[in-house]
Amino acid sequence: MSSATPSEPLKPPLEIPDPATLAAEIVKALKYRDGKDAAVATKDDWLTASIQVVRDRIIDGWIASTKQDDDSGAKRVYYLSLEFLIGRLMRDAFSNLGFMEAMRAALGSLGVELDEIATLEPDAALGNGGLGRLAACFMESMATVDLPAHGYGIRYVNGMFRQEISDGWQVELPETWLDHGNPWEFERRERSSEIGFGGSVDAIVSADGQREQHVWKPQERVLAVAYDTPVVGWRGSRVNTLRLWSGMPIDPILLEAFNAGDHIGALRESNRADALSRVLYPADSSPAGQELRLRQEYFFSAASLQDIVRRHISRYGELRSLPDKAAIHLNDTHPAVAVAELMRLLMDVHGIDFDAAWDITKRTFAYTNHTLLPEALESWPVPLFERLLPRHMQIVYAINAQVLLEARMSGQFDDCQISRISLIEENSERRVRMGNLAFVGSHSVNGVSALHTQLMKETVFADLHRLYPTRVNNKTNGITPRRWLLQCNPGLTALAREAIGDRFFDDIDALRELDRLAEDAAFREKFAAVKRANKERLAALVATRLGVRLDPSALFDIQIKRIHEYKRQLLNIIEAVALYDQIRSHPERDWTARVKFFGGKAAPGYHNAKLIIKLANDVAKVINRDPSVRGLLKVVFVPNYNVSLAEMMIPAADLSEQISTAGMEASGTGNMKFALNGALTIGTLDGANVEISEHVGDDNIFIFGLTADEVTQRRSSGYNPRALIENTPELAQALAAISSGVFSPDDPARYRDLVSDLYDRDWFMVAADFDAYAATQRSVDAVWNDSPDWYAKAIRNVARMGWFSSDRTIREYANDIWNVPL
């Protein structure tokens, strides 16, 4: 195992002000910035003032970091992502600056409780799930390891929808996180860019008469206005920038149209610009396919590239050195159109010829693939792409010609393989393949776990990998231990510190020293007490929010993530139903008390995912009120899963459910957060579960089910779920109950189709894995009942998860992909 070098703070830690100074600053901010007297200030006012005080202190470091990078001519990393699921920022900043206790005392002296105002901060939900949260962890780690980096994305006015559960069904409501202003952001009008859409392309002869030059004349233009948020690294070592673009009309109101009486038409341009940064498409792992989505992708890619090019030119005066000074990273294919946009800027605006431009482009870009699901790969109909981005369409054709020429010249491919390499899908409808564009336009293409990268080489990118065999590489995902241990689990942090000192604050691998304490009965008891306190906190939240009383001594079994068939919440629910049957049929047995928690949002148009939420709630209703289970089994669905809820639930978990169909979860990062917080994992050999099991050891994890190879094999050799179900009485009985309306007496047919699909097709292999899953759950019970053994395993999980720090991941990106050695 490679051990990263301990991250000594590169600058001395910031001086921590005393509470009295901070208190005075808070009162001053309240008065002179917000015009409020302390006597009438609301909790929201205190929150804003506290953020302003800390923000002021971040700004010095921010300016210093930016100046240092400008002066040194350091290479910068630009991380382009349509999502940044950053959550709340106040604790992050307090904790990374080391201000937490001083701020707590300062607020306390003013009669304000820090933890109380902290929960009022809106959760910046600018992401769907894992992909967006990864970008947020990467931003924090890049600042921590002292890497000059900018994140680029969209400032969605309404980010991810807020989920309410009404009568068991998901209801989507707008998230209004900006309603009370956002003290973290700085508007930068001077950093605005004009972004064009549509129109036509003229071909002219270049000034020197040597070449044909293209001029794009967009029909429509909008402004992209920058909003910057500072991102503070651990111990304030560096402050980087997250720059989010907002759409603005160039002419807020077309007066000519307005005066002519066309009041709606006069605002059309304004509405179009506004729509660009209004909502994040709520589909995770499946392309939205809407014109607005392509507009959003081009809007933020083009604004970011203009910014990068402008910065480079102002310092170096030319663009040929761009790859030496800028590494542009594409987080999935959403910004892949940036490849064509950089080519356009290099050729059409800066007069560089195709070959040189193509060389610069490839050396500048790198791309991370996040999914293998064929239906999830982005592609755009050629007519739409051409209408919106006519010049980019020409450039895509030119790139394609070059790539197909290289493929033919290599002599390795038949026509069928050539057609898979092509950037244009030629089947029924011609489409631009964004994955192929990102692949050919980048010098590095990485997967996010060892298994995912292997499968990428064998499946989606098999032909492109053969053509460019050195391009694909693996960078297993990680999570920032600051947010996902130090902040979310102060109890465990304090316990570890008491036991092994605070070296792990700076070098997470030092957690290893906890390993030997797994054998120490006194330490195990303290560890169990911390877990217990976290569970009580979660039980209190469930009691207030859902009115369900939970026993904190029960095993807390948690599955929180987007609702998706491949993640198999359904397998977990069916197992709950089977267990419910068993408890009722054999009340004399020694059952283990367990609470099954679920949480997660479903894409609003994803019928089965929404039905699975309803099923979890229907099953919960029946089980929770049945006296014959005597509280041995409870099921709860916690609404509106987001980063803040994750921070509350993960430290309270005993068991982490990571049960996707093998081969379908690219990595997972929820799995890492749970293990770092001392939950044992029940999971398949999928995504990063494989590497987690290697790190924590086979004895400290519950692995079950088909492997990815076995799934492929079963699918290709006539998988017959019906026969299988009919031979598995527990499963058949649970499915019969669900299908016949035991849990939905008001609508007995509600789940008929969901269940019949398991009999007829079962693409996600729920039936094939059911027995192994249920049996493994009973071994979980057995270990749980041997409490010293359970906590020894849990402690070993915490001790051995250091490798999954996103600092390690970022160092690998920096060394192997971005060429900014750390």
Ligand X SMILES: *Cc1c(COP(=O)(O)O)cnc(C)c1O
Smallest Cα–Cα separation from 338: which of 348, 351, 326, 329?
329
Q: Find the helix or strand (DSSP H, E) in which 622 lies.
A: helix 607-624
**Total chain residues near ligand X (CB under 6 A):** 11
Is 334 a known active-site residue? no
By CB under 6 A, tell whether 478 contacts ligand X: no
Catalytic site residue from 333, 368, 669, 809: 669
Q: Among 243-251, 334-342, 639-647, 730-738, which window interacts with ligand X (CB under 6 A)?
A: 639-647
Helices (H), 685-741: 689-696, 708-716, 721-726, 729-740
Among 22, 646, 766, 767, binds ligand X (CB under 6 A): 646
State the residue number with the nearest CB to ligand X.
Answer: 670
The upper half-sphere exposure of residue 571, i.e. CA atoms within 13 Å in the direction of its Cβ, equals: 32
Residues 679, 783 contacting (CB under 8 angstroms)? no
Tell the residue number behind the tokens 């050799």, with chain if given.
717
Distance from C-alpha of 482 to C-alpha of 805, rounded to nearest angstrom: 9
Tell the residue number behind the tokens 């369900």, with chain if given.
548
Q: Among 142-150, 152-160, 260-268, 668-676, which window interacts with ligand X (CB under 6 A)?
A: 668-676
Catalytic site residue from 36, 293, 561, 808: 561
What is the CB neighbour count within 10 angstroms for residue 443? 18
Beta carbon of residue 240, minimum distance to ligand X (angstroms, whole number):
21
3-state SS record for 468-486: CCCCEEECCCCECHHHHHH
Beta carbon of residue 131, minimum distance to ligand X (angstroms, whole number):
8
Q: Among 129-137, 254-262, 330-338, 501-509, which window interacts with ligand X (CB under 6 A)?
A: 129-137
Helices (H), 195-318: 255-259, 263-266, 268-276, 291-316
Please identify, using beta-carbon distances, which residue of 110 and 655 lies nearer to ligand X. 655
Please identify, using beta-carbon distances, which residue of 129 and 287 lies nearer to ligand X. 129
Please identify, using beta-carbon distances, which residue of 285 and 306 lies nearer to ligand X. 285
Beta-ladder partners of 149: 77
Beta carbon of residue 563, minimum distance to ligand X (angstroms, whole number):
10
Interface characters, 531-570, with ligand X (x: CB under 6 A) = ------------------------------x---------
By CB under 6 A, tell whether 642 contacts ligand X: yes
Among 296, 669, 684, 797, binds ligand X (CB under 6 A): 669
Please identify, using beta-carbon distances, which residue of 693 and 739 lies nearer to ligand X. 693
Please identify, using beta-carbon distances, which residue of 19 and 599 lies nearer to ligand X. 599
By CB under 6 A, tell whether 230 contacts ligand X: no
Q: Which of residues 131-170 bind ligand X (CB under 6 A)?
A: 133
By CB under 6 A, tell whether 476 contacts ligand X: no
Among 19, 61, 122, 129, binds ligand X (CB under 6 A): 129
Beta carbon of residue 179, minimum distance to ligand X (angstroms, whole number):
21
Among 17, 19, 122, 130, binds ligand X (CB under 6 A): 130
Beta carbon of residue 484, minimum distance to ligand X (angstroms, whole number):
8
Please identify, using beta-carbon distances, which residue of 110 and 488 lies nearer to ligand X. 488
Helices (H), 317-344: 322-325, 337-344
Query: What token pair was written down for 461?
Result: 């990118």
Cα end-to-end distance, the chain, whole Å: 18
Q: Find the helix or strand (DSSP H, E) in which 356 lies.
A: helix 354-364
Q: Among 7-15, 98-106, 173-181, 640-648, which window interacts with ligand X (CB under 6 A)?
A: 640-648
Is 562 a known active-site residue? yes
Among 670, 678, 721, 802, binds ligand X (CB under 6 A): 670
By CB under 6 A, tell whether 643 contacts ligand X: yes
| The residue count for the chain | 822
Beta-ladder partners of 153: 244
Beta carbon of residue 645, minimum distance to ligand X (angstroms, whole number):
7
Please identify, using beta-carbon distances, which residue of 137 and 294 lies nearer to ligand X. 137
Beta carbon of residue 444, minimum distance to ligand X (angstroms, whole number):
23
Residues 367, 442 contacting (CB under 8 angstroms)? yes
Q: Among 128-136, 329-337, 510-518, 720-728, which window interacts with ligand X (CB under 6 A)?
A: 128-136
Among 668, 705, 721, 802, binds ligand X (CB under 6 A): 668
Q: Among 126-134, 208-216, 371-379, 608-616, which window interacts with ligand X (CB under 6 A)?
A: 126-134
Beta carbon of residue 92, minimum distance to ligand X (angstroms, whole number):
13
Is 11 a known active-site residue? no
Interface characters, 583-622, with ligand X (x: CB under 6 A) = ----------------------------------------
Beta carbon of residue 812, minimum distance to ligand X (angstroms, whole number):
19
Please identify, using beta-carbon distances, which residue of 287 and 670 lies nearer to ligand X. 670
Distance from C-alpha of 488 to C-alpha of 492, rounded to nearest angstrom: 9
What is the CB neighbour count within 10 angstroms for residue 747? 11
How far, CA to CA in Å, does 610 sit from each of 392, 563, 564, 603, 617? Answer: 38, 8, 9, 8, 11
Residue type at position 107: L
Is 217 a known active-site residue? no
Distance from C-alpha of 694 to C-alpha of 701, rounded to nearest angstrom: 10
Exposed e or buried b per residue across 510-548, where buried means at least 16 C-beta atoms within 10 angstroms of its C-beta: bbbebeebbeeeebbebbbebbeebbeebbebbeeebeb
Catalytic site residue from 75, 370, 443, 800: 370
Is 180 a known active-site residue? no
Distance from C-alpha of 371 to C-alpha of 257, rounded to nearest angstrom: 46
Distance from C-alpha of 278 to C-alpha of 246, rounded to nearest angstrom: 9
Distance from C-alpha of 113 to C-alpha of 136, rounded to nearest angstrom: 27
Sign of CA dihedral 637, 642, 647, 648: negative
Beta carbon of residue 636, minimum distance to ligand X (angstroms, whole number):
17
Is 119 a known active-site residue? no
Catalytic site residue from 91, 673, 750, 796: 673
Return left, alpha or beta for 119; rule: phi > 0 is left, psi -120 to 50 is alpha, else beta.
alpha
Query: What token pair was written down for 204?
Result: 């002219």
Please identify, using beta-carbon distances, which residue of 650 and 765 lies nearer to ligand X. 650
Please identify, using beta-carbon distances, which residue of 218 and 683 lies nearer to ligand X. 683
Distance from C-alpha of 96 to C-alpha of 237, rounded to nearest angstrom: 9
Catalytic site residue from 567, 610, 796, 800: 567
Distance from C-alpha of 676 to C-alpha of 426, rounded to nearest angstrom: 47
For ligand X, the binding residues (CB under 6 A) are: 129-130, 133, 561, 642-643, 646, 668-670, 673
Active-site positions?
370, 561-562, 567, 669, 673
